[in-house]
Every structure is written in C-alpha cells, then in structure tokens.
Chains A and B, each alone.
Chain A
Amino acid sequence: MFDLEGFEELTQMNMLQQLIYYTQQNSAYLWEQFTRHFLISIYGVLFAAVVAIPIGFYIARHSRLADWVVGAANVIQTIPSLAMLSILMLGFGIGHNTVIITVFLYSLLPIVKNTYAGVKNVDHALLDAGKGMGMTRWQMTYKIEMPMALSVIMAGLRNALVVAIGVTAIGTFIGAGGLGDVIQRGVNASNGGAIILAGAIPTALMAVISDLVLGWLERRLNPASRVSR
C-alpha cells in the first residue's frame, strides 16, 4: 500500500543526514509553519506596541501612575507561559488568536517599560528649548520625545519579539500551529530526533535573526549615532 522503496536506508542515516532529508522533503510545509509562527509572534508584538507605547508616554508624564502600571505588567510577566496559555484558553478557546493574546500580554512589560524609560530620559534642556520655540505639546512629543526615545523603545520591541517567538512555540498545545507543531511531532515520533531539530533550529534562527535586525535598527535610530553621520 505504501511506497517504501529505499526507506530502509533512512533509518541507517545519522541525525544530520536525516535532518537534511526531512527538510528537503517537507520544505514547503516547514516554510508554511515558519511564516505562521513568525506572523503570530509579530501580530502579538504589534498589537502590544499600539497599546503599550501610548501607555508608556502617558505614564512618563504622570509619574505617580508609573509604578502601578509597570507593577501590573510585571505581574503578568511572572505567569509561566504554559499556565497563561491554559488560562486564556478557558476564555478564548483554542487556536492562534489565543496565542496572539498571550504574546500581546507578555510584550506589554518590555515595551511599556522601555517607552517610559526612553521618554523619561529625554534631556530637559531640549524640551525647554522646544517650549521656547513655541512648540505645542504634540509637537514636543513628535519632534523631540519620540525621536529621542525611539531607539530605547525599539530595544523594548526587540525584547518582546524574542520572547514572543518562544511563547509561540508552546502555542502548538492549543492548536495554533507554527514550528511548535514540527517540534512536537518529532517528540512524538519514536525516531524523531531529526524532526525536532527541523523545528527547533528554524525557531532559534528566527529569534536570533529578529534580534540582530532589530538591534541594527535600534542602533540606526539612536540619536547619538545620528549626530555622528
């Protein structure tokens, strides 16, 4: 019933050869899971950025709130990811949306904290100069605080995305798909070492590359490096 010509050899191969074989055979499937994984992580982080960056700006101006907001985000961060997924699953059911919400929650803290710190550390002399030039509140935010704080905010996003990629890998247990599917399939298979690697290596690469790219962006956006150009 099954065409198994030549497969005996496969069991004799070492793990690296199996990994190459498996990746070649399933490249389309792996790519699909890779993009899915990346999108779930990115969506979670982007939604968090939309919410968290304004919050960061707000608490930078209302310092009394800062402790409370950062404290609340801190509490969220302490919940283990598997527990968080399970809790959210009770309310939102299975599927990728629940994972996106989980990623969203985990991303709040690094983004809020960094935005807060970035805005807080803007040199007061600059703000005074802006005020002296007759800038409105909005203009000061857009033209002074935002560009000055951008690299620090970026560092927050970078942190958030790396964590998000890890959290998404666990999302397979609530049926979200992604590279976690591949890893889990390898764990289930009796001879699945190569499959585990085929899922784990791209996951790690995704995190490392995201980190490098955002790190580069962060340096580009750093006001100090801008001056030197």
Chain B
Amino acid sequence: MKWTKKIKLAALSSTAVFTTACSLPGLGAGLTEDVNIRIATQSSTEMAILGYVIQGMVNHYSEVNAEVIQNLGSSTMVAQALIQGDAEVAAASYTGTALTGELGMDPITDAEEARRVVTEGFEEQFGIKYFPSYGFENTYSFLITTDLAEEHGIESISDLEPIAADLTAGVDTSWMEREGDGYRAFLETYNFEFDTVYPMQVGLVYDAVRSGNMDVVLGYSTDGRIASYDLVLLEDDLSFFPPYDASPSVLFDTLEEFPELEDILLKLEGTIDTGLMQEMNFIADEYLIEPATVAQQFLEANNFFEDAEPYLEPVGGE
C-alpha cells in the first residue's frame, strides 16, 4: 500500500517535471520569444569582447533583446549559423579569413580590393551585409622590442634587411608551412633571410622576444601582450600579408526587420584601433576581467558613441 502511494507520487512528480521540461525553463534564448537578435562569436577573447560591445550598443539604442552566442569553432561555423537562422549577427569577420574561408577564394593583398570582393560575395552568396571595419586588423605581424627598433631605426619589415643575418626569429609553427603567405612566400617577397628561424607555438612568441631569446617574432597584431611588453609592430611595407581587418556582419533579412541595427553598427565604424583592441584583450586575458565587463566599460567610457554619425536616439532608462 505504502509503495503504490510512493509510485503514484513519483509518477505525478515526474509528469510535472516533464510537462514543465517541454518549455525547458532556465535555458533562456532559443525558445523564448523575447530574444530577437543573437550575436555569434568565435572562440577567442577578442571576439567575445566585440560580441558584448554589439550587445551593449543594441541594448542602449533599441528595445530589441540581444544575446551573445560564444565559442563557435570557426569563422565558417559562424557564417553557417547565420545562414541556417541560428544567429543574426556575426560579431566579427576578418576580411582575409572571409575571403579564403567562407568564400573559398584566393587571397588578395590589396585591402580595399579584398573588402570589396568580400562585401559583394557575402551579399550575393549568403545574403549577409558586411559592415565597415571596426578600425583594427588582427593579422600576422613582425614584432621587435623598442630597444632594437630605436637602436637601428626600424619601422618596417624592409628595415630589417641590413641586420637580418644577425637576427634569430621565432614564428608560428603553422606559418612555416603555409602556402601563399607563409615563410617561403615571405622569402620571395622580401628577399632576405634571418640567421635562424625557430617555429614555435604562437602564444609563446611574445615572451620570447621580450626576454631577448628571440630578436624578432611573428605574432598576432591585436594580442594584448604587445602593448604591455612595449613591443613594436613592424609595418608590412610590401603588403605581403593579406588584410585581416575586422568587421561585423548581419543578415539582410534581419536589417529589414530591425532597421535601427544598421545605424547601430555603423556607429562602431573605426572606433577600435589596433592599440585599443590590444589593451582590451590584455585586460580580459591578464587581469581576468570578463569580456562582457570590458565591453561595458569601453562603451560607457565613450558614452555609447552617442555623438557619432549616424545619429540615433538612445532608449531611456538603463
């Protein structure tokens, strides 16, 4: 008798759980109606910050609810998410990656030409609007210490040529083997060689050059350690590396539904230069401040770009 009661209770409570589980409470977006815009980001600190920057802007200027989807594996996956309707906004695409990755074309080293091709390709093939750049590039860059730069007056990669025979270089392992913009192509374009080239994991190069174990290294231009270690980014004066400037992109359908989104993203044009991106990456990575917080502080410090063109009326009451 006791057991039938218990079973009944169990059955009752489990049905209760199942019926509520149908609406899957507690999981928020995806099923609830009140998230209108989902911002897809790739798996990196930089992307997460940019995602939250867009979210903050959207919340400031419109009634629309935005949510950030984090940690998607690749840029292709982000584009797929947009095309399949799992997300509406891609926080950032890098022109060079978009060109060779999503569009499957050959690299173009001219920045404007590359941007034009990508903008057209995204519109025609995917129905996605490729916005103007945030104002920074995340590309491969040669880095040296300030001391070395001042001693020899080095500003660009070509300036390295006279002393290259005495320099040890540390580069990303994958760059050594890359076709098109890898080491072999580099030798052909710049026509000089370093004394020794050490392939290494890209995360280690910044410390290697700072400590003096390497004289010159190849790293990513927006890494936070560049600013904090006081490294000098050498100008790619022969335009060897394809442009990797970052832009948000949005489905055209979404822009039709939420026209204010276009102006919101246009406000962000040119607002983040490479140095600022380095700084934001640095404080998120080294000071363990969440990307969402970094983005919020950035927007508040700039008053959400209220004075920037195009003008938009903020939604009252934060």
Residues on the B chain within 8 Å of A93, using CB: 81, 84-86
Residues on the A chain within 8 Å of B4, using CB: 142-143
Q: Which of B18, B283, B287, B291 has the most CB of A within 10 A?
A: B287
Q: Mark A175-201, 1 if CB is under 8 A from B, else 0.
A: 101001100110011111011000000
Residues on the A chain within 8 Å of B48, using CB: 185
In the complex, how many angstroms separate the beta carbon of A193 from the nearest chain B beta carbon? 10
Stretch at the interface among B38-46, B112-120, B127-135: B38-46
- Alpha-carbon distance between A195 and B288 when the two chains are bound, in angstroms: 8
Chain A 99-158 interface residues, beta-carbon cutoff 8 Å to B: 100, 142-143, 146-147
Whether A39 lies near B287 (C-beta < 8 A) is: no
Whether B21 lies near A191 (C-beta < 8 A) is: no
Residue of A nearest to B288 (CB): A22
Whether A185 lies near B72 (C-beta < 8 A) is: no
Q: How many residues of A contact B (CB 8 A)?
A: 47
Whether B290 lies near A26 (C-beta < 8 A) is: yes
Q: Residue A47 at the B interface, CB < 8 A?
A: yes
Q: Mark B1-37, 1 if CB is under 8 A from A, else 0.
A: 0011001000000000110010011111111000000
Chain A 5-25 interface residues, beta-carbon cutoff 8 Å to B: 7, 10-11, 18, 21-22, 25
Q: Mark A76-111, 1 if CB is under 8 A from B, else 0.
A: 000000000000000001111100100000000000
Residues on the A chain within 8 Å of B288, using CB: 10, 18, 21-22, 25, 189, 191-192, 194-195
Residues on the A chain within 8 Å of B40, using CB: 94, 175
Q: Mark B247-260, 1 if CB is under 8 A from A, else 0.
A: 00000000000000
Given contacts A11-B286, A96-B27, contact A181 B225 (CB under 8 A): no
Q: Residue A36 at the B interface, CB < 8 A?
A: yes
Whether B45 lies near A185 (C-beta < 8 A) is: yes
Residues on the A chain within 8 Å of B29, using CB: 95
Q: How many residues of B contact A (CB 8 A)?
A: 52
Q: Residue A174 at the B interface, CB < 8 A?
A: yes
Whether B203 lies near A190 (C-beta < 8 A) is: yes
- Alpha-carbon distance between A22 and B286 when the two chains are bound, in angstroms: 12
Residues on the B chain within 8 Å of A18, using CB: 288
Whether A95 lies near B44 (C-beta < 8 A) is: no
Residue of A nearest to B3 (CB): A147
Whether A191 lies near B285 (C-beta < 8 A) is: yes
In the complex, how many angstroms separate the beta carbon of A172 from the nearest chain B beta carbon? 5
Given contacts A46-B18, A146-B7, contact A7 B290 (CB under 8 A): no
Whether A188 lies near B69 (C-beta < 8 A) is: no
In the complex, how many angstroms separate the beta carbon of A228 from the nearest chain B beta carbon? 16
Residues on the A chain within 8 Å of B302, using CB: 1
Residues on the B chain within 8 Å of A36, using CB: 26-28
Q: Residue B173 at the A interface, CB < 8 A?
A: no
Residues on the B chain within 8 Å of A224, using CB: none
Residue of B nearest to A99 (CB): B27
Q: Residue B279 at the A interface, CB < 8 A?
A: yes
In the complex, how many angstroms separate the beta carbon of B254 from the nearest chain A beta carbon? 16
Residues on the B chain within 8 Å of A43, using CB: 21, 24, 27
Q: Residue A40 at the B interface, CB < 8 A?
A: yes
Identify B70's interface contact among A35, A175, A190, CB under 8 A: A175
Whether B7 lies near A142 (C-beta < 8 A) is: yes
- Alpha-carbon distance between A35 and B27 when the two chains are bound, in angstroms: 9
Residue of B nearest to A11 (CB): B286
- Alpha-carbon distance between A11 and B28 when the two chains are bound, in angstroms: 35
Identify A173's interface contact among B30, B72, B284, B292, CB under 8 A: B72
Whether B69 lies near A11 (C-beta < 8 A) is: no
Whether A181 lies near B203 (C-beta < 8 A) is: no
In the complex, how many angstroms separate the beta carbon of B268 from the nearest chain A beta carbon? 15
In the complex, how many angstroms separate the beta carbon of A127 from the nearest chain B beta carbon? 16
Residues of A within 8 A of B (CB): 1-4, 7, 10-11, 18, 21-22, 25-26, 29, 35-36, 39-40, 43, 46-47, 50, 93-97, 100, 142-143, 146-147, 172-175, 177, 180-181, 184-185, 188-192, 194-195
Known: A95-B30, A181-B70. 17 other contacts (CB 8 A): A2-B280, A2-B294, A4-B287, A7-B287, A7-B289, A11-B287, A25-B289, A39-B25, A46-B18, A94-B69, A96-B24, A147-B3, A172-B71, A175-B71, A184-B70, A184-B71, A190-B285
17 pairs of residues in contact across A and B, judged by CB atoms under 8 Å: A1-B302, A2-B279, A2-B280, A7-B289, A10-B287, A11-B286, A21-B288, A26-B290, A94-B69, A146-B7, A175-B69, A175-B81, A175-B86, A177-B70, A184-B70, A191-B285, A192-B285
